[in-house]
Structure 1
Amino acid sequence: MKTTQKPAALGLVLGALGVVFGDIGTSPLYAFEAVFSDALHPVSVTPENIYGVLSLFVWSLIIIVTLKYVFFIMRFDNDGEGGIVALMTLLLGKATRTSALRRWFLPLGLIGAALFYGDGIITPAISVVSAVEGLETISPQLSPYVVPVSLVILSALFLFQRQGTERIAKLFGPTMLIWFVVLALLGIKAIAGNPEILRAINPIYALEFIQTQALLSFFVLGAVVLCLTGAEALYADMGHFGAHPIRRAWIRIAFPALLLNYLGQGALVLQSPDHIHNTFFRMAPDWALHGLVVLATLATIVASQAVISGVYSMTQQLIQLRVVPRMRIVHTSTQNSGQIYMPAVNWMMLGLVITLVLYFQSSNAMGAAYGIAVTGTMLITDFFAIAAVIKLKRWHWGIALLGALPFMVIDGLFFSANALKFIDGGWFPVGFSVLILLIMTTWMRGVQAILSHEQRHSQLLAEFVQKLQTIQPYRSKGTAVCLTSDDQVAPMALVLMGERLHAVPEKVICLHVVIEEVPRVTPSHRQTLKDMGQGIYLLILKYGYGDQINLPAQLEHLFPQDDPTNRYGYLINRWSVDFEPGGWALWRKKLFALLLRNATPQSRMFEMPPDRVIEMGSRLIL
């Protein structure tokens, strides 16, 4: 038994290296250099500053990543799933519809999700550009090619998404394992030339740096946070690998390699202060430089892929929760339902990433834009963690606040330092996050308006069945599947068909799809079927926000058809929007109408055969 479990555990650790640690694993390419290359708040390259900055790096990794995320935050999961959306739904599941918890944490969760989108745009850009900047180390004449080569690599990466990542995903783990080994070896080589740098592990140097240069150290935190980019991924990807393999991968491989590499960069700069530009690549011997640029590029592609896949997954979850408009989802793997491709999200990300690279031109310039999204998400996670220990672990609120206070103070300082860089590039993720948040809140408000309209103009399903017995409409042959947003109410499309055409199919399945606030629902708890009489059935299907929904397959399983020609017809409601004075602002009404018009139809979301779908039109007046 042990011989089978050990390879499986090692495989999960290797997989975690490839997916979870790509972002934080490539931060040595730009993080240390960014501290000393800040044009607005430059840090002179002196031994005292090098020791102080390195000590800040080391203890940020220990306190924020190791203590906060690896040993604390990862204790809270929603049926095995992690991440800010999973934590939000976990907490909301413990709250009533009108509780203060829901009023506060739903907006906070949406803000965190919006910030994650901003992070998802910046990560591919800064990672790939920082790797390609290694060309400048090979030859300064190659500097003009950094941006064009980066754009080619990024474009190829996003164009490849439609093919799926099932084939190349198997290479992610080994690639990142080689990368972390190289990080460690480069660090050891540089440390061997100046072992005095190991003193930077002592937190006294960080405290002395803060004490002697209080204002400058505050600004420096805005760049130090770059060594933490990707920390949220440890929690967000917990559902893919489990907490234990992620902890093992961090403690045994990723953290030691990062620690050695940062110390190695410090040792190199301490010995040769003029090596502060492209410090990472200057640690390598000349004969290995070309190979290191290629390996760094591969590692940043892996990191970018992990973030892109994370954006897809979170968007799918938000669609299921009715937070963002429906979009087309393509499943690219026959074995792993989590591997998906979303064309609309993919092209939007590609356009924004290209814009970002063309505008900022270098990884140092993009560093100013990076921190706000990352630290904002971290700070929101702190609030959720406090609520989790109070609601789930039943801690006293005073003890919970006291335990979380160190993390909140540090994350608050990181966020404040990065907020000061708003004009220098922080406006990009903030502006993009505000746009995403506006779309989310507008869509949620519009969906609620549709549900309210349906409740006002609908009939109870039991009354509709009784009416059929009285008026006896024409019962056409065949089976119709009608979607309803309420299991007590007759589907509007069915009511409209009866009123307008005076005909109802001889067999009707009123289908109510429920998205639970859990990642997945087991098949044994999936369906509830009730015979309402008169050939009318009520079918309730329950899914988690991470489940794939395939209605035809589910219906065939429940109602196998002996006659292949007697297939299901799907009757759905199609909304159009008109405006009237009052209520929402006119621009917001038009935004919702635009989103609704361009949203993927329910028929495609639920994989209904297009030739079997009938749409009945309804007007929504806002």
Structure 2
Amino acid sequence: MPMPSSTATELPPTQAPLPAAAEHGSKTGFWALTLGSVGVVYGDIGTSPLYALKESLHAAAGGGHAPTRDMVFGVVSLILWALILIVTLKYVLIVMRADNGGEGGTPSLVALAQRALGHSGGFVIALGMVGVALFYGDAIITPAISVLSAVEGLKLVTPALEPYVLPVSLAILVGLFAVQSHGTARVAFFFGPITAFWFSVMALGGLSHLVEDLSILAALNPAHGIGFLLSHGTAGLLALGAVFLAVTGAEALYADMGHFGRSPIRTAWFGLVLPALALNYLGQGAMLLAHPERIENPFFLLYPSWALLPMVLLATVATVIASQAVITGTFSITQQAMQLGLLPRMRVLRTSETEKGQIYIPRVNWWLLAAVVLLAVLFKSSSALAAAYGIAVTGDMVITASLVFVVAWRFWRWPVAVAALVIAPFLLIELVFLSANALKLLHGGWVPLTIGAALVMAMWTWRRGSALVAEEIHRQRVPLPDFERMAEAGSLLRAPGTALFLTGSPGDTPGALMHNVKHNHVLHARNVILHVVTDDMPRVRQAEQVTVKPLSDVFTCVTVRFGFMDLPDLPRALAGAGFDAAGLSYFLTRRVLVASPETGMPVWQDRLYIAMARAATDASRYFRIPVDRAVEIGARIDI
């Protein structure tokens, strides 16, 4: 079989375009992407008015007390300026410039920062771990608080429905996760129009009360927000922590950039989302100036009594859409984290033959459902969950700001003073928000921190353990050139066909190859040393995936490159490079790991790594290797 030849070159991130329709395509394609972004990108931030102002004023007024006029003006001002500073200036205008091959999100930003630092920044990986962990905390809380806040509107329809709020919420959540395996392609078609209608209804509800008391427009003056903080002490800080609920979901603007492009997302924000949110918050404020007793649920009370039930149903649909976006994002983040070596391999399924981003990870889906249901049962209401929400979001935003500073300084080549001058104000604001949310640590804030700490420990253990395993394997291995000379000079039997031996170190002899020769005394006619590399690019073009380096008539070294958002399909990649997939046999090493006190980790951490390794999807399934073509050979490794 003639071996194909190929050269692989890395595409600079600035040459990887965003979706054509988004940046250069037809007007029809542009507006379709804009409408789609309304449903997917802004679903989470679009449900914040259900609880953000209510929880902020509860914190300011202290429980069931009615808010004063100064409180209303101050909190509404803080919310509006949070939307302007954090979402508009930071994310829409600055962070979205940091595209990695057109993709966004914490792992993309980590990869971009690592490339800017020449892979020398270990602290970047540490920040990435914390960011990913906090994203999971956010993803667990968002479906629970969003669905609960919507279904709680039933209590306003009639108090008799209050006992059914939690059961109905749980039923919706279970149903939402149960349909994930079918993919979101069909449902997503309706996301944009429904969410656009939701924003329009929110704007109308706010506008109807705004025109009754235009004095609330004074809240656009940031002096009201600053004065409120200075005059209310601890209550002001508690309210500030709740104010951040208004910008939850801002990370989605960046994370979903690759699906829609910058221009559609920005157009949707300035043309519909920001005006609708501002009108709704101003309308809630105007209503509370006249009727402070409506603080128990100011969002639903914007509407007449005959519209309550339709609004509850519409809000429920909107929160399901918001939750869907977070769940889909969790699958994407998990896939990227696996490819970057932060998490063990898990089974990833495609739910669409045409859309690369539509994937489903069964294990993550059911773990997420269990955590969401547990939170809903333990906290029982959106108000109780609100205290747990802010820390995860603010922590994630602080990490994003830190990574963007690195990218601006080292990748965009901004002078360090300019990068600091631009990024530091946002970082300072978010640190203030983080400090405010820290006051709620004992009232639910410990939840995302506990989840995050456990996940960071798991990711660090997996990364460190994998490095120790690689070191041990390298220590035991024979250099490939030495083995090649011995094998070709010996009298080994030659088996027909081509054998592929997977290895993590192409300069060493794969363990499966050594054991095959040692125990079977046979060498295939053609032997391919196969090395899989995950690039710090989102995707690698098929024509550039495979690099072939002939070593001799018997041995060939092949490198297959995947991006961190690619699904690693080895047979497809090799077939695309000219290999006869039907004639290949894959040899893999099945490692038996044993905890040892003499390695670089404590024994308890060794055992954690071993448990994660045993739970990981085996390499043959992860790389889509046909079962009847895979041969596994065992090897013991002490860690």
TM-score by length of 2: 0.94
Q: Take 2:367 and 2:401, find their aligned partners in 1: how far apart are those partners?
A: 30
Partner residue of 1:16 out of 34, 37, 44: 37
Partner residue of 2:75 out of 53, 65, 82: 53
Q: Take 1:460 and 1:581, find their aligned partners in 2: how far apart are those partners?
A: 28
Secondary structure of residue in 2 paired with 1:338: coil
* 8 Å Cα contact 1:465-1:534 kept in structure 2: no
1:371-410 mapped onto 2 (5 Å cutoff): 371-410=390-429
Q: Take 1:533 and 1:3, find their aligned partners in 2: how far apart are those partners?
A: 48
Q: Take 2:406 and 2:546, find their aligned partners in 1: how far apart are those partners?
A: 32
* Farther-moved stretch of structure 1 (307-316 vs 444-453): 444-453
Q: Take 1:276 and 1:41, find their aligned partners in 2: how far apart are those partners?
A: 12
Corresponding pairs, count: 616
- What amino acid maps onto 1:130 in structure 2? S
Following TM superposition, by how much is the alpha carbon of 1:463 offset from its aligned partner in structure 2, in angstroms?
2.4
Partner residue of 1:415 out of 410, 413, 434: 434
Q: Take 1:288 and 1:124, find their aligned partners in 2: how far apart are those partners?
A: 24
Following TM superposition, by how much is the alpha carbon of 1:44 offset from its aligned partner in structure 2, in angstroms?
4.6
- What amino acid maps onto 1:572 in structure 2? L
- What amino acid maps onto 2:592 in structure 1? S
- What amino acid maps onto 2:400 in structure 1? T
Following TM superposition, by how much is the alpha carbon of 1:610 offset from its aligned partner in structure 2, in angstroms?
1.2
* 8 Å Cα contact 1:41-1:219 kept in structure 2: no
Partner residue of 1:495 out of 514, 526, 536: 514
Secondary structure of residue in 2 paired with 1:517: coil
1:504-519 mapped onto 2 (5 Å cutoff): 504-519=523-538
- What amino acid maps onto 2:114 in structure 1? L
Q: Take 2:60 and 2:423, find their aligned partners in 1: how far apart are those partners?
A: 34
- What amino acid maps onto 1:609 in structure 2? P
Following TM superposition, by how much is the alpha carbon of 1:402 offset from its aligned partner in structure 2, in angstroms?
2.4
* 8 Å Cα contact 2:349-2:360 kept in structure 1: yes
Following TM superposition, by how much is the alpha carbon of 1:406 offset from its aligned partner in structure 2, in angstroms?
1.7
Q: Take 1:258 and 1:426, find their aligned partners in 2: how far apart are those partners?
A: 26
Residue equivalent to 1:354:
373
Pair 1:567 & 2:586 matched: no
Q: Take 1:517 and 1:483, find their aligned partners in 2: how far apart are those partners?
A: 21
- What amino acid maps onto 1:31 in structure 2? A
Q: Take 1:556 and 1:384, find their aligned partners in 2: how far apart are those partners?
A: 38
Pair 1:343 & 2:362 matched: yes
Secondary structure of residue in 1 paired with 2:549: strand
Partner residue of 1:605 out of 600, 622, 626: 622
- What amino acid maps onto 1:243 in structure 2? R
Pair 1:289 & 2:311 matched: no
Partner residue of 1:614 out of 620, 625, 631: 631
Following TM superposition, by how much is the alpha carbon of 1:582 offset from its aligned partner in structure 2, in angstroms?
3.4
* 8 Å Cα contact 2:493-2:522 kept in structure 1: yes
Q: Take 2:586 and 2:122, find their aligned partners in 1: how far apart are those partners?
A: 37
* 8 Å Cα contact 1:469-1:534 kept in structure 2: no
* 8 Å Cα contact 1:125-1:356 kept in structure 2: yes
Q: Take 1:388 and 1:40, find their aligned partners in 2: how far apart are those partners?
A: 42
Q: Take 2:133 and 2:25, find their aligned partners in 1: how far apart are those partners?
A: 41
Secondary structure of residue in 2 paired with 1:580: coil
Following TM superposition, by how much is the alpha carbon of 1:470 offset from its aligned partner in structure 2, in angstroms?
1.0
Give 5+ residue unaligned stretches, structure 1: none
Q: Give the 3 Å change call, closer, same or farther, for CA 351–40 of structure 1 in structure 2.
A: farther
Secondary structure of residue in 2 paired with 1:79: coil
* 8 Å Cα contact 1:14-1:173 kept in structure 2: yes
Pair 1:218 & 2:237 matched: yes
Q: Take 1:525 and 1:24, find their aligned partners in 2: how far apart are those partners?
A: 39
Secondary structure of residue in 2 paired with 1:521: coil
Pair 1:81 & 2:103 matched: yes
- What amino acid maps onto 1:579 in structure 2? A
Pair 1:521 & 2:540 matched: yes
* Farther-moved stretch of structure 1 (518-527 vs 373-382): 518-527
- What amino acid maps onto 1:341 in structure 2? Y
* Farther-moved stretch of structure 1 (416-425 vs 458-467): 458-467
Following TM superposition, by how much is the alpha carbon of 1:210 offset from its aligned partner in structure 2, in angstroms?
2.1
* 8 Å Cα contact 1:461-1:490 kept in structure 2: yes
Q: Take 1:331 and 1:449, find their aligned partners in 2: how far apart are those partners?
A: 32
Following TM superposition, by how much is the alpha carbon of 1:336 offset from its aligned partner in structure 2, in angstroms?
0.5
Q: Take 1:412 and 1:39, find their aligned partners in 2: how far apart are those partners?
A: 20
- What amino acid maps onto 1:5 in structure 2? S
Residue equivalent to 1:26:
47
Partner residue of 1:209 out of 228, 251, 262: 228
Residue equivalent to 1:582:
598
Q: Take 1:230 and 1:430, find their aligned partners in 2: how far apart are those partners?
A: 18
Following TM superposition, by how much is the alpha carbon of 1:22 offset from its aligned partner in structure 2, in angstroms?
0.6
Q: Take 1:261 and 1:96, find their aligned partners in 2: how far apart are those partners?
A: 46
Secondary structure of residue in 2 paired with 1:505: strand
Residue equivalent to 2:389:
370
Cα distance per residue 1:81-123 (max 9 Å; x no partner) = 11121111101112245x3xx1222111111111011000000
Q: Take 2:498 and 2:113, find their aligned partners in 1: how far apart are those partners?
A: 40
Cα distance per residue 1:24-71 (max 9 Å; x no partner) = 000001111111234994475111110111000111100111011111
Q: Take 2:140 and 2:356, find their aligned partners in 1: how far apart are those partners?
A: 24
Q: Take 1:196 and 1:39, find their aligned partners in 2: how far apart are those partners?
A: 21
Residue equivalent to 2:495:
476
* 8 Å Cα contact 2:513-2:587 kept in structure 1: yes
Residue equivalent to 2:353:
334
* 8 Å Cα contact 2:57-2:75 kept in structure 1: no
Pair 1:303 & 2:322 matched: yes
* 8 Å Cα contact 2:60-2:71 kept in structure 1: no
Q: Take 2:224 and 2:183, find their aligned partners in 1: how far apart are those partners?
A: 47
Q: Take 1:267 and 1:165, find their aligned partners in 2: how far apart are those partners?
A: 39
* 8 Å Cα contact 1:116-1:373 kept in structure 2: yes
Give 5+ residue unaligned stretches, structure 2: 1-20
Partner residue of 1:6 out of 7, 27, 42: 27
Q: Take 1:116 and 1:600, find their aligned partners in 2: how far apart are those partners?
A: 23
Q: Take 1:67 and 1:533, find their aligned partners in 2: how far apart are those partners?
A: 58
CA RMSD of aligned residues (A): 1.7
Pair 1:465 & 2:484 matched: yes
Q: Take 1:410 and 1:560, find their aligned partners in 2: how far apart are those partners?
A: 55
- What amino acid maps onto 1:567 in structure 2? G
- What amino acid maps onto 2:115 in structure 1? G
Cα distance per residue 1:177-210 (max 9 Å; x no partner) = 1111111111111212222222211222112212
Residue equivalent to 1:596:
613
Residue equivalent to 2:473:
454
* 8 Å Cα contact 1:468-1:534 kept in structure 2: no
Q: Take 1:591 and 1:3, find their aligned partners in 2: how far apart are those partners?
A: 49
Q: Take 2:447 and 2:441, find their aligned partners in 1: how far apart are those partners?
A: 8
Pair 1:70 & 2:92 matched: yes
* 8 Å Cα contact 2:543-2:576 kept in structure 1: no
Paired-residue identity, %: 43
Secondary structure of residue in 2 paired with 1:335: coil
Q: Take 1:390 and 1:482, find their aligned partners in 2: how far apart are those partners?
A: 42
Residue equivalent to 1:553:
572
Partner residue of 2:178 out of 154, 159, 170: 159
- What amino acid maps onto 2:461 in structure 1? T
Q: Take 1:296 and 1:330, find their aligned partners in 2: how far apart are those partners?
A: 31
* 8 Å Cα contact 2:465-2:609 kept in structure 1: yes
Following TM superposition, by how much is the alpha carbon of 1:271 offset from its aligned partner in structure 2, in angstroms?
1.2
- What amino acid maps onto 1:86 in structure 2? S
Residue equivalent to 1:141:
160
Residue equivalent to 1:322:
341
* Farther-moved stretch of structure 1 (445-454 vs 424-433): 445-454
Residue equivalent to 2:14:
none
Q: Where does structure 1 differ by over 4 angstroms across 4 or more consecutive aligned residues? A: 1-4, 39-44
TM-score by length of 1: 0.96
- What amino acid maps onto 2:534 in structure 1? I
* 8 Å Cα contact 2:209-2:284 kept in structure 1: yes
Secondary structure of residue in 2 paired with 1:508: strand
Secondary structure of residue in 1 paired with 2:529: strand
